[in-house]
């Protein structure tokens, strides 16, 4: 679906300064239907990477392919935008219209989709994110989680093959965060969409098929969540958290216990501790 | 405070007024305003009042909402009325045997002016309450479209307007927040000389501008990601159509307008 | 400085269709030098409550006393009150406006009409407190990183030398490392300056780490008010109020449900680890074949 080869990127630095690569030799790929989480602390380059996936940024070196199309090739410009949708951090700053359904209609309107077809797509997208009942509402009166779901519906209505979420929960409260994550999981499981989730919340990354950890513009880990999170020490050194239960098992193991080191959920942890204590 | 302004807010309900083509509503509003200012005697005033009330009734927006919309300009209405009552030449009004500086002619004129202003507000409110900002900008864009051939960027203008409307509540909220934050640092926006007060605004305006630019940046990227490419190939979720209901409304308004004009100049 | 709140009521946008009673009969007393965490989901009234404490909002009824100053009385000197009660808003970096870090931090002290030397002193002290090196003093705050901007903004409030410091979601939007840093700094600040600190958050984990007392707000009222251990032992009640409990609390609940007796006031990883080790040791002594 998306593939990068030796991707490098540098912001236009002043001439005197040395070129600083925000992304340095990134080989990254997402296959169709996969849910990949990109984890890293602020400034590690994960958002810059995300902006390459739909051609908002073009590589300084290397290549990005979206469904085989090179993002640098201008003839694919709109095809790439159409196949990879983006949801951003601040829900307020991506809603264009003053009525929920009109906002959701924005992308298909831009693409020149006929009215009846837009109506169908809008209704369906709003039902998917569970906002259909509020379709006539003014977006500024909605909660953060609801606004973000409207933004997601706006992207779904474009009918992309893949959605890239760029820290969609960073500005939300726990309830809003749960709403958004549930929606993302629904898109993956029921609509079989390809999902890339950029985040610094490990509890969200745990739910992905694969976790990619970035540090200083490079990919440092790339594996299934169980494998990635078992590296408690390395993650901590990178300034990232691990689930509390994973850390607990890690600490107990260090004290001489022999618990599996790939525990991620409360259930798994309870099972193991029950076995140990009884 | 700022949040109390109800004029210009859209009421997301369904009514015959909501179903009208925004272009019809815009043109008829202009026509109606002309009629309001032409009306000069009891019958014509009665006619325009009746039509305004009919429109308000058909909009299904509660009367209380219309009345609240008057609040911001109540002062203007009272002020012009008082000026008219006192400053118009004519027969002085006698009260308890005393002659007052008020005149009967002034009272009539004041009444007429107040009625006009109120009707004007009600009629405009009937438009904004029943037309979503998007439909409104759509309508304006379509009405201006003949000028597009002359090089007027009608689509871009319409887009700018609707985005401005979209971000007004967001920016009001933001202003409130920044004002509070600076007050917590000892800022004083309420006292001192005019120059001092203007200077005191900098800590509020600078963050507000910075935030507005940041939002604009974000929004541009978000719009680009959703394939925004200007106006050429765009379609609409709700295409606006000039339908039977529009024709009906236009006929009613034209009839009222003709009668008002005729009565004004005949009586 | 102590805070005394009694019978506080606040109605939001009274008389409009959006009318909502944001605070219902809230009574609280916070002693001098306490570190209190205030949690609740969005709309629970926690932000409304703290804005009353320095007079930014006026209650419909009820009274607030800060030290000997009755805030709710007419003619209270608001400027004086706001010096005593420092309020750091959510995303405080959005309020920065000056050309240099120094100028921005000195905005508060300047409004207090202090002498230049005093202002200098205050700025230096405040920067020190939040761990900003003095080399940033003449830099533009807008060139700094997100975490640094936030520290400049917090320093701007600290420079007023408040007796009470209120922070609204100081860690919002920061990554784990940034969050850790801010929380550690606030804790250090509290210990060093001996001020009363109110820490508003919707993250139970953050609050659990640093507060000595937790107030849970729900629907405009104080739902719970106790020591962290007591609060966390009521995991079900918390979840019902839309709050997330830490994984460790969930784990303890789950183990108790499975019939393993655990102290339900455990809410940190360290405590859980120590307890489990103790249980294993006990088991070994009684002849079990535990592997630890």
Q: Select from C13, C56, C86 the Cβ nearest to the Cβ of B183.
A: C56
Per-residue model confidence (pLDDT) at position B3: 47
Considering the domain architecture, whether residues B24 and B97 belong to the same structural domain is answered as yes
Per-residue model confidence (pLDDT) at position C209: 81
Please say whether the beta carbons of C166 and C82 come within 8 A.
no
Considering the domain architecture, whether residues B123 and B254 belong to the same structural domain is answered as yes
Kindly give the confidence (pLDDT) of every residue in chain A, 278 residues in length, as a single tens digit, with 9 standing for 90 and above.
899 999 999 876 555 556 678 898 999 999 999 999 999 988 889 999 999 999 999 999 899 999 999 999 989 988 999 999 999 999 999 999 888 999 999 999 999 999 999 999 999 999 999 999 999 888 888 999 999 999 999 999 999 999 999 999 998 988 899 999 999 999 999 999 999 999 988 889 999 999 999 999 999 999 999 999 999 999 999 988 899 999 999 999 998 888 888 899 999 999 999 888 87
Selected residues 130-189 of chain C with any CB under 8 Å from a CB in chain B? 142, 156-157, 160
Considering the domain architecture, whether residues B33 and B107 belong to the same structural domain is answered as yes
Element (H, E) at A190: none
Residue A277 lies in a domain: no
Residue B104 lies in a domain: yes
Structural tokens at position A154: 């706006």
Q: Which residues are within 8 A (CB) of B258 and not within 5 positions of it... i.e. 6 or more apart?
A: none
Residue C95 to residue B3, Cβ atoms within 8 A: no
What single-letter DSSP state applies at residue B57? H
CATH topology of domain C3-227: Rossmann fold (3.40.50)
Considering the domain architecture, whether residues B106 and B219 belong to the same structural domain is answered as no
**Buried b / exposed e along A227-255 (16+ C-beta atoms within 10 A):** ebbbbbeebeebbbbbbbbbbbbbbbeee
Residue of chain B minimizing CA distance to A117: B237
Dist. CA C34–CA C196, nearest whole Å = 5
- Residue-number span of the structural domain to which A161 is assigned: 2-225
Top residue of A80, A84, A102 to mutate, by most chain B CBs within 10 Å, is: A102
Residue A271 lies in a domain: no
Residue B144 lies in a domain: no
Residue span(s) of chain C under CATH 3.40.50.300 come to 3-227
**Buried b / exposed e along A215-224 (16+ C-beta atoms within 10 A):** bebebebbee
Considering the domain architecture, whether residues B31 and B94 belong to the same structural domain is answered as yes
Give the tens place of pLDDT for each residue, C39-49: 998 888 999 99
**A138 touches C: beta carbon within 8 Å:** no
pLDDT mean across residues, chain C: 89
ipTM comes to 0.89
Residue B136 lies in a domain: no
Selected residues 204-223 of chain B with any CB under 8 Å from a CB in chain C? 206-207, 210-211
Considering the domain architecture, whether residues B12 and B127 belong to the same structural domain is answered as yes
Collect all residues of chain A within an 8 Å Cβ-Cβ radius of residue B214: 93
Could you tell me which of A191, A196, A206 has the C-alpha nearest to residue A159?
A191
Residue A97 lies in a domain: yes
Lowest mean pLDDT among A194-198, B131-135, C94-98, C181-185: B131-135
Considering the domain architecture, whether residues B216 and B98 belong to the same structural domain is answered as no
User: Three-class SS of residue A44?
Assistant: coil
What single-letter DSSP state applies at residue C100? S
Q: Select from B178, B183, B186 the Cβ nearest to the Cβ of C160.
A: B186
Please say whether the beta carbons of A139 and A98 come within 8 A.
yes
Could you tell me which of C199, C150, C153, C147 has the C-alpha nearest to residue C178?
C147
Dist. CA C137–CA A229, nearest whole Å = 40
Residue A94 to residue B10, Cβ atoms within 8 A: no
User: Three-class SS of residue A27?
Assistant: strand
Residue A141 lies in a domain: yes
**B139 touches A: beta carbon within 8 Å:** no
Could you tell me which of B101, B78, B82, B77 has the C-alpha nearest to residue B90?
B101
Domain count, chain B: 2
Considering the domain architecture, whether residues B184 and B98 belong to the same structural domain is answered as no
Considering the domain architecture, whether residues B100 and B197 belong to the same structural domain is answered as no
Please say whether the beta carbons of B25 and B250 come within 8 A.
no
Give the tens place of pLDDT for each residue, B202-250: 899 999 999 999 999 999 999 999 998 877 678 888 777 788 888 999 9
Residue B121 lies in a domain: yes
Residue A208 lies in a domain: yes
Could you tell me which of A121, A54, A48 has the C-alpha nearest to residue A83?
A54
CATH of the domain at A26: 3.40.50.300
Residue C42 to residue A200, Cβ atoms within 8 A: no
Tokens 């978000």: give the residue: B222
Residue of chain A minimizing CA distance to C290: A276
- Low-confidence residues of chain B: pLDDT under 70: 1-8, 232
Could you tell me which of B167, B138, B152, B158 has the C-alpha nearest to residue B241?
B138
Q: Which residues are within 8 A (CB) of A212 and not within 5 positions of it... i.e. 6 or more apart?
A: A28, A36, A37, A38, A39, A219, A221, A222
Collect all residues of chain B within an 8 Å Cβ-Cβ radius of residue C96: 207
Domain count, chain A: 1
Q: Is pLDDT of C173 > 90?
A: no
Residue B143 lies in a domain: no
Structural tokens at position A248: 């607990």
Considering the domain architecture, whether residues B6 and B115 belong to the same structural domain is answered as yes
Task: Write down the pTM of the prediction.
Answer: 0.85
- Residue-number span of the structural domain to which B169 is assigned: 155-225
Could you tell me which of C235, C274, C225 has the C-alpha nearest to residue C256?
C235
Dist. CA A82–CA A80, nearest whole Å = 5
The neighbours of chain C, by the rule of 3 or more Cβ pairs under 8 Å, are: A, B
Torsion angle in degrees (nearest 10) through CA of B170, B176, B181, B184: -170
Collect all residues of chain C within an 8 Å Cβ-Cβ radius of residue B3: 13, 16
Q: Which residue has the higher pLDDT, B232 or C24?
A: C24
Structural tokens at position C60: 């419909």
Q: Select from A43, A243, A277 the Cβ nearest to the Cβ of C247.
A: A243
What single-letter DSSP state applies at residue B91? P
Residue A251 lies in a domain: no
Question: Sign of dihedral through CA atoms B58, B59, B63, B66?
Answer: negative
Element (H, E) at A266: helix A266-277
Give bridge partners of residue C258 from the DSSP assignment. none
Residue C251 to residue A266, Cβ atoms within 8 A: yes
Tokens 């800060």: give the residue: C66
Dist. CA A71–CA C49, nearest whole Å = 51
Give the tens place of pLDDT for each residue, A75-106: 998 899 999 999 999 999 999 988 899 999 99
Residue A105 to residue B166, Cβ atoms within 8 A: no
Per-residue model confidence (pLDDT) at position C15: 63
**B78 touches A: beta carbon within 8 Å:** no
Collect all residues of chain A within an 8 Å Cβ-Cβ radius of residue C246: 244
């Amino acid at each position: 679906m998306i593939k990068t080869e030796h991707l490098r990127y540098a912001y236009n630095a002043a001439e005197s300064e040395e070129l600083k690569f925000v992304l340095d030799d990134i080989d990254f790929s997402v296959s169709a239907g996969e849910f990949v989480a990109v984890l890293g602390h602020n400034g590690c380059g994960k958002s810059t990477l995300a902006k390459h996936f739909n051609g908002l940024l073009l590589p300084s070196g290397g290549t990005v392919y979206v469904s085989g199309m090179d993002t640098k090739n201008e003839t694919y410009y709109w095809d790439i935008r159409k196949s990879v949708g983006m949801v951003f951090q601040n829900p307020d700053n991506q809603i264009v219209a003053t009525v929920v359904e009109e906002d959701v209609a924005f992308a298909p309107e831009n693409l020149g989709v006929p009215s009846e077809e837009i109506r169908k797509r809008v209704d369906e997208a709003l039902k998917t994110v569970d906002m259909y009942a509020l379709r006539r509402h003014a977006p500024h009166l909605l909660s953060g989680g609801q606004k973000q779901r409207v933004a997601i519906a706006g992207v779904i209505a474009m009918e992309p093959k893949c959605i890239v979420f760029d820290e969609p929960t960073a500005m939300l409260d726990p309830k809003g965060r749960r709403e958004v994550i549930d929606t993302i999981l629904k898109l993956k499981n029921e609509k079989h969409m390809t999902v890339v989730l950029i985040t610094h919340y490990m509890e969200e990354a745990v739910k992905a098929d694969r976790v990619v950890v970035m540090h200083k513009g490079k990919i440092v880990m790339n594996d299934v969540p169980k494998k990635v999170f078992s590296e408690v020490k390395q993650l901590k050194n990178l300034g990232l958290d691990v689930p509390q239960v994973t850390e607990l098992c890690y600490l107990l193991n260090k004290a001489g216990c022999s618990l599996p080191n790939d525990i991620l959920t409360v259930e798994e942890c309870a099972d193991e501790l029950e076995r140990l204590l009884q | 405070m700022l949040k109390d302004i109800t004029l210009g807010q859209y009421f997301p309900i369904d009514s015959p007024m909501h179903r009208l083509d925004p272009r019809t509503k815009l043109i008829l509003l202009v026509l109606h305003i002309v009629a309001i200012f032409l009306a000069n005697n009891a019958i014509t005033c009665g006619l325009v009042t009746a039509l305004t009330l009919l429109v308000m009734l058909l909009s299904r927006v509660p009367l209380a909402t219309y009345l609240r919309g008057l609040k911001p300009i109540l002062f203007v209405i009272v002020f012009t009325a008082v000026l008219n009552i006192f400053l118009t030449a004519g027969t002085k009004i006698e009260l308890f045997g005393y002659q007052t500086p008020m005149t009967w002619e002034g009272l009539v004129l004041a009444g007429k002016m107040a009625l006009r202003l109120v009707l004007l507000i009600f009629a405009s409110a009937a438009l904004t309450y029943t037309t979503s900002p998007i439909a409104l900008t759509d309508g304006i864009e379509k009405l201006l479209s003949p000028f597009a051939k002359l090089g007027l960027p009608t689509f871009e203008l319409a887009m700018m307007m609707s985005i401005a409307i979209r971000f007004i509540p967001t920016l009001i909220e933001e202003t409130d927040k920044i004002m509070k934050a600076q007050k917590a640092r000892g800022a004083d926006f309420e006292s001192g000389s005019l120059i001092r007060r203007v200077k005191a605004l900098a800590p509020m305006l600078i963050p507000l501008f910075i935030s507005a630019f940041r939002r604009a940046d974000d929004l541009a990227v978000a719009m680009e990601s959703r394939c925004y490419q200007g106006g050429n190939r765009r379609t609409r979720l709700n295409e606006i159509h000039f339908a039977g209901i529009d024709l009906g409304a236009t006929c009613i308004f034209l009839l009222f307008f003709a009668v008002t004009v005729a009565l004004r100049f005949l009586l | 400085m102590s805070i005394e709140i009694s019978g506080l009521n606040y109605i939001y946008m009274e008389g409009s269709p959006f009318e909502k009673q944001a605070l219902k009969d809230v009574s609280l007393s916070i002693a001098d030098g306490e570190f209190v965490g205030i949690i609740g989901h969005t709309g629970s009234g926690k932000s409304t409550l703290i804005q009353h404490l320095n007079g930014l909002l006026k209650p419909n009824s009820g009274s607030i006393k800060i030290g000997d100053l009755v805030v709710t009385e007419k003619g209270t000197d608001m400027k004086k009150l706001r010096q005593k009660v420092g309020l750091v808003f959510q995303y405080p970096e959005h309020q920065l406006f000056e050309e240099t870090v120094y100028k921005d931090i000195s905005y508060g002290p300047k409004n207090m009409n202090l002498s230049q030397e005093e202002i200098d002193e205050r700025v230096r002290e405040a920067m020190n407190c939040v761990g900003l090196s003095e080399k940033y003093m003449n830099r533009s705050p807008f060139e700094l990183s997100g975490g640094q901007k936030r520290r400049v903004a917090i320093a701007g409030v600290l420079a007023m030398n408040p007796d009470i410091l209120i922070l609204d979601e100081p860690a919002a939007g920061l990554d784990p490392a940034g969050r850790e840093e801010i929380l550690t700094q606030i804790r250090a600040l509290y210990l060093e300056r001996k001020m009363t600190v109110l820490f508003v958050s919707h993250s139970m984990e953050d609050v659990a780490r640093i507060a000595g007392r937790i107030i849970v707000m729900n629907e405009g009222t104080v739902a719970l008010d106790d020591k962290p251990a007591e609060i966390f032992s009521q995991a079900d009640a918390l979840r019902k109020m839309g709050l997330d409990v830490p994984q460790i609390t969930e784990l303890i609940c789950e183990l108790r449900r499975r019939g393993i007796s655990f102290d339900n006031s455990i809410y940190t990883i360290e405590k859980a680890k120590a307890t489990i080790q103790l249980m294993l040791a006990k088991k070994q002594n009684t002849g079990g074949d535990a592997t630890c």
